[in-house]
Structure 1
Amino acid sequence: MDSSVAPIMIENGDHQHITTHPQKPSKKGGWNSAVFIIFVEVAERFAFYGLAGNLITYLTNVLHEPTATAAKNVSTWMGVSAIFPIFGAFIADSYLGRFKTILLASVTYFMGMVLLSLAVSVIPLEYRKAAFFTALYILAVGEGGHRPCVQTFAADQFDENNPQEREAKSSFFNWWYLGIVAAASTAILVDNVGWAAGFGVLAGALAVSLTMFLVGIKRYKKESPMGSPFSTVVQVLVAAVRKWRVSETRCGHGIYYGDEKGESYKVQKFDRTNQLRFIDKAMIIDDIDYSSKMRNTWRLCSLNQVEEVKLVVRLIPIWLGCLMFSAILVQLHTFYTKQGSTMIRSIGPNFQIPPASLQSLVGLMILVIVPVYDRIFVPLARKFTGCPSGITMLQRIGIGLFLSIINMGVAGLIEGKRIKTASEHGLMDSPKAIVPMSVWWLIPQYLISATSDVFTVVGLQELFYDQMPEAMRSMGAAAYISIIGVGSFLNSALISIVQAITAKNGDIWLGDNLNRAHLDRFYYLLAILSAVNFCVYLWIANGFVYKKVLEDHEIIKEENFDGNWNREMKMVNDV
């Protein structure tokens, strides 16, 4: 419930209804404060993608790592960067709050980027590799505190109880992603100015964004940390296990609905759902609870606590169902770039497109797709579906997953064409030679990747924000980010498995010589795995139940019996 609305208890016989009295709206929040937070995220994404987009080139060309090793190192670093947000989210939700966590993480990230700039310039060559990787993982730590909090903190600036701001929040996720993509597309071009200068530019952008973030400090709506988000989950699961033999019609004295002292009125109140009924046992009042002088939180939990845990559990299969998507997403920063480096990249007589700069095609396409999606597709779809966002979040994710299958199929066909061209011109044993085939052949796979991103990535961002309990929204953002991380590890594992199997046959798919390798077969393998994954996702999504938040007039509390602790519950008699 919004802080500008004060709850009032109105008694009517045995029932107590919660109503509200509007207060003066706060001047904080909304787009006026969210825009300052967006600056921080844009700068951080500018730095991250400027590094990620050129990392494989630096590792292979400067540090002289084999292609497969460099690809695994990139995937591992991106994976760690996407796993650390789980710890950052825990710290934000439990101890520091989102604002302080963002501030601390931004300083850490800036320090890492400064060290990275020094590692590629003034640090002696014998220590350069160690310093470079140290800086990379300092950035991963900063990423861990930054990513799960910034988007959530920005979305928190919009009031969910205000219909206009609720609609603005849905649009916010589209424009937020647009800003990130614009920053990423620009950052990929940094290798044109040299490694030291390029990383120096990224560090400067972080310094400016941190200043902008502090300028808006008086405009932000800040939520205090609500304690460990895991304690509620564990309490509910423990209580459910302890009462596994109890049912509402046997040994039960009703359902515990909670009380205003134990559960803040600012927390959303949920309707009861029929899924995961075993967890419901945690809120059944048995003989021990009934006779106890104090409520044991490890034996009896409220309906709201139970439904919050159900929200978390329901998202786990969705999380698993999107891992293959992120494994495909990593190809954009690894093998796509290596493909492009072997092809004709000339524009005019004196200019060649840097291999990593091809990733900007994805950004440019997204810059077109997002406004069209938000301003044209959503209003049209809304007329047919009645859904405020045009299509549901799960439908949006599913479309992106399907496109990722097409993406790998197209990439395999184009790579097959590139290998055939190299063979026709006698270049199979000349890995550094330029294959007489234009780099523009890669445009289809980049454009399909962009369209897939707009659907799946933004859909996941919104789903894991919207469907998580309020106290765990930083964890929700971390969970979405960790999909990318675990997917990166999955990609590294697939590379290792493919190398091990194909090496036994003497026909290595992912060798340093791409002309002799069979990257096209690797792409086809990813397409097959993604198709299987997509079928599983459809089955999961078909059974998914979105949360239902009770309106104020639907919340009823009854005093069922006298006791020494505040028992506000509703007796349930199903028979």
Structure 2
Amino acid sequence: MPLLGGFIADSYAGRFRMILFSSTIYLMGLGILTMSQFIPTLKPCGVSNTRCVNPTKIHELAFFIGIYFLSIGTGGHKPSLESFGADQFDDNNFEERKGKMSFFNWWNAVLCCSLLLGVTVLTYVEDNSGWGTANLILTVTMFVTITIFYLGKPFYRYRAPQGSPLTPVLQVFVAAMIKRNLPYPSSQDSFYEPESPQRRLLCHTSKLKFLDKACIVIDNEITEGKKPSPWKLTTVTKVEETKLLVNIAPIWLASLLYGVFLAQGATFGVKQSSTMDRKMGTNFTIPAASIQVIFAIGMLFCVICYDKIITPIIRRITGNERGIPILQRVGVGMFLSILIMIVAALVEKQRVITAEKEKNKVLSMSAFWLAPQYFIMGIADAFTLVGLQEFFYGQVPDSMRSIGIALYLSVIGVGSFLSSFLITVVNQVTEKTGNRWIGKDLSSSRLDKFYWLLAAINGLNFGIYVLLAKRYSYKNVLKNVAVTS
């Protein structure tokens, strides 16, 4: 869904319009879910006050319509809003370009603050006042934010959609195939690149040379007053943009296992917390999901330190305006993910030992044993997730930036699917030995072994990622601005 939303925003609708449309769809979904909790005929039990086992059909219909609206709204809203925010910075201005590098850090800092409110205040409201009240709060908040966003319309910078950004990519492959038998030129003088004040031109690179044939000018191909067919002759910039997409594909694939790692914190981590002692003081017990607040604190702490302390120091030492190169930043988080899985496995082993001794539903072992892994997970995300956002936004062609953010989001989405698939495979294999690693009852499962498996897989994937990152060539813009590592 994010890929489709990003494609529509880049191609036809424009990011501002896509944000308004998708936000409205999201608001409608929240409204439907809220009404299903307050309107008597839409409640799970209808107008009856008695406890029901199965919800009414009309409640199920309203619930799923609301959920689908949320999914559609999220798919258009997330990639468009983040790329629209980054578009407010001018790449041709040095100070604004530095501001864009900080934008992704502070974007995620704000998300962390939202997560803090979500897993504390909203979770508490849901547990004590019900889902309806929590949904009503979210609906009102969303309405206010959409209104504020729209009122800022006169002050935004806009990038007009220019049709499908995938068409030039297809043209490059077609032109390269047509000219596949041409000899590769000894110089770049025969490459086609007319002046274009409306777009940034890219420098030629020596990789994927077979695509360069798409921009080779042959005799009588260019005539005065007539543009050549883009299906037979493309520009150097279009060829380089196609190379960018080919080059980022392996990085995207290597990032998917980080999405598998991310899925564990929001699923098994919360489930582990629900079996442990979550008391704070004598009368207050924190909700199981609130353990994620430690993750948000870790990420917020790291983002602020990275933007205000680490980056300025490294800039002064290396002279690189970015500080740490993007892919190195991503790699730091991937390495930390291995460490986190090792820590998680050791903690889970201790939790299982405690469960075997006590035989209680709620253990005496404190849920704050999970704090170290969640805190380090927040630090890892501050490196990897923020880095991936900046990477996919900056390394795709300028006309595909919403799609670039959608590619980042797909790392999380596809990673969740891969996590479910891996759990299914692991259970099928381990069930043959008589003891499933991951069951409904965590006390009789061996989740620690699953964590060790993830640590090994992430370690292997990290080695592959390092090799890919070393071979990667960053996007390089012609003329006065160079967007490098």
TM norm structure 2: 0.91
2:153 is aligned, of 217, 222, 225, to 217
Matched residue SS, 2:364: strand
1:169 aligns with 2:96: no
* Conserved 8 A contact 1:508-1:518: yes
Aligned to 2:138: 202
Matches within 5 A, 1:436-455: 436-455=364-383
Q: Which runs of 5+ in 1 are unaligned?
A: 1-83, 555-575
Superposed, which structure 2 residues align to 1:536-555 within 5 Å? 536-551=464-479
> Could you say what the CA RMSD is over the residues aligned between the two structures, in angstroms?
1.9
Number of the residue aligned with 1:266: 198
Q: Deviations over 1:198-225 (max 9, x none)?
A: 1221112111100110111111111110
Given that 1:85 and 1:144 are in contact with CA atoms closer than 8 Å, whether structure 2 keeps it comes out as: yes
Amino acid at match of 1:118: M
- Residue 352 of structure 1 corresponds to 285
1:278 aligns with 2:210: yes
The residue number in structure 1 matching 2:231 is 298
**1:70 — aligned with what?**
none
Match for residue 92 of structure 1? 9
C-alpha separation in 2, matches of 1:553 and 1:153: 21
Is the deviation greater in 114-123 or in 208-217?
Answer: 114-123
Residues 91 and 481 of structure 2 are in contact (CA less than 8 Å); yes or no, is this contact kept in structure 1? no
Are the structure 2 counterparts of residues 398 and 410 from structure 1 closer, same or farther at C-alpha, using a change threshold of 3 Å?
Answer: same
User: Partner residue of 2:50?
Assistant: none
User: What is residue 179 of structure 1 aligned with on the other side?
Assistant: 110
Identity across the alignment (%):
42
Counterpart in the other structure of 1:310 = 243
Question: CA–CA distance in 2 between the matches of 1:483 and 1:160?
Answer: 26
CA separation of 1:253 and 1:457: change in aligned 2, threshold 3 A: closer
Q: Which whole-Å CA distance do the structure 2 matches of 1:161 and 1:234 have between them? A: 29
* Structure 2 residue aligned with 1:469: 397
SS in structure 1 opposite 2:67? Answer: helix
Quote the Cα distance in structure 2 between the aligned partners of 1:200 and 1:470. 39
Q: How does 1:494-533 map to 2 (within 5 A)?
A: 494-533=422-461
**Secondary structure of 1:308's partner?**
helix
Q: Look up the match of 2:314.
A: 381
The answer on whether the counterparts of 2:204 and 2:236 sit within 8 Å (CA) in structure 1 is yes
Structure 2 residue 171 is the aligned partner of structure 1 residue 235: yes
SS in 2 for 1:483: helix
1:130 to partner: Cα distance = 5.0
**Distance in 1 of aligned mates of 2:117 and 2:332:** 27
Q: Which has the higher helix share?
A: 2
Name the CA distance, whole Å, in 2 between partners of 1:310 and 1:144: 27
Structure 1 CA distance for aligned equivalents of residues 407 and 208 of structure 2: 21
- Contact 2:222/2:228 (8 A) holds in 1: no
Are 2:385 and 1:457 aligned?
yes
State the number of aligned residues.
461
2: distance between equivalents of 1:314 and 1:212? 39
Partner residue, 1:324: 257
Matched residue, 1:564: none
Conservation of the 8 A alpha-carbon contact between 2:79 and 2:402 = yes
1:367 paired residue number: 300
Q: Distance in 1 between matches of 2:61 and 2:435?
A: 34
Shift of 1:169: 1.2
Out of 330, 333, 347, the residue aligned to residue 266 of structure 2 is 333
Is the Cα–Cα contact under 8 Å of residues 325 and 401 in structure 1 kept in the other structure?
Answer: yes
Q: Counterpart in 2 of 1:107?
A: 24
- Corresponding position of 1:69: none
Give the C-alpha shift of residue 173 in structure 1: 1.4
Q: Which amino acid aligns with 1:336?
A: G
Residues 126-167 of structure 1: per-residue CA shift (max 9 Å, x gap)? 334554343222211101111111111111111111111111
- Give how far 1:505 is off: 2.3
Return the match for 2:43 from 120, 123, 129. Answer: 123
CA distance in 2, matches of 1:286, 1:184: 58
Higher mean C-alpha deviation, range 517-526 or range 533-542: 517-526
Q: Distance in 1 between matches of 2:114 and 2:378?
A: 15
Partner of 1:395: 328
State the alpha-carbon separation in 2 of the partners of residues 247 and 465 from structure 1.
Answer: 35
Q: CA deviation at 1:328?
A: 0.8
Cα distance in structure 2, aligned partners of 1:213 and 1:146: 13
Q: Matched residues in 2 for 1:543 and 1:187: separation?
A: 40
Q: Is the CA contact 2:92–2:481 (under 8 Å) kept in the aligned structure 1?
A: no
Aligned to 2:49: none
The separation in 1 between residues aligned to 2:263 and 2:65, in whole angstroms, is 22
Give distance in 2, aligned partners of 1:456 and 1:352. 33
Q: Residue 244 of structure 2 contacts residue 397 of structure 2 at CA under 8 Å; is this kept in 1? A: yes
Alignment pair present for 1:482 and 2:373 = no
Q: Give the Cα separation in 2 of the matches to 1:268 and 1:137.
A: 39
| Kept after mapping to 2: 8 A contact 1:188/1:356 | yes
Please state how far the C-alpha of 1:438 moved relative to its aligned partner: 0.5
- Find the residue that maps to 2:443 and give its secondary structure: coil
Q: Offset at 1:313?
A: 1.3
Partner Cα distance (1:327, 1:131) in 2: 31
The one-letter code sitting in structure 2 at the alignment partner of 1:296 is S
Matches within 5 A, 1:9-158: 84-120=1-37, 122-124=42-44, 125-127=55-57, 128-158=59-89
> Does the aligned pair in 2 maintain the 1:248–1:254 contact within 8 Å?
no
Shift in CA distance, 130/535, structure 1 to aligned 2, threshold 3 Å: farther
Q: Could you tell me whether the CA contact under 8 Å between 2:270 and 2:289 is conserved in 1?
A: yes
Q: How far apart are 1:291 and its partner, in Å?
A: 8.0
Amino acid paired to 1:436: S
Deviation at 1:115, TM superposition (A): 1.9
Instruction: State the 1:384 CA deviation.
Output: 2.1
CA distance in 2, matches of 1:102, 1:96: 10
Task: Give the direction of change, closer, same or farther, for the CA distance of 1:199–1:421 in structure 2 (3 Å limit).
Answer: same
- Asked if structure 1 preserves the Cα contact closer than 8 Å seen for 2:171 and 2:230, the reply is yes
Deviation at 1:188, TM superposition (A): 1.6
Cα distance in 1, alignment partners of residues 253 and 222 from structure 2: 40
C-alpha distance in 1 between matches for 2:182 and 2:25: 50
Give me the TM-score of the superposition, normalised by structure 1.
0.77
Q: Residues of 2 paired with 1:500 and 1:199: CA distance? A: 38
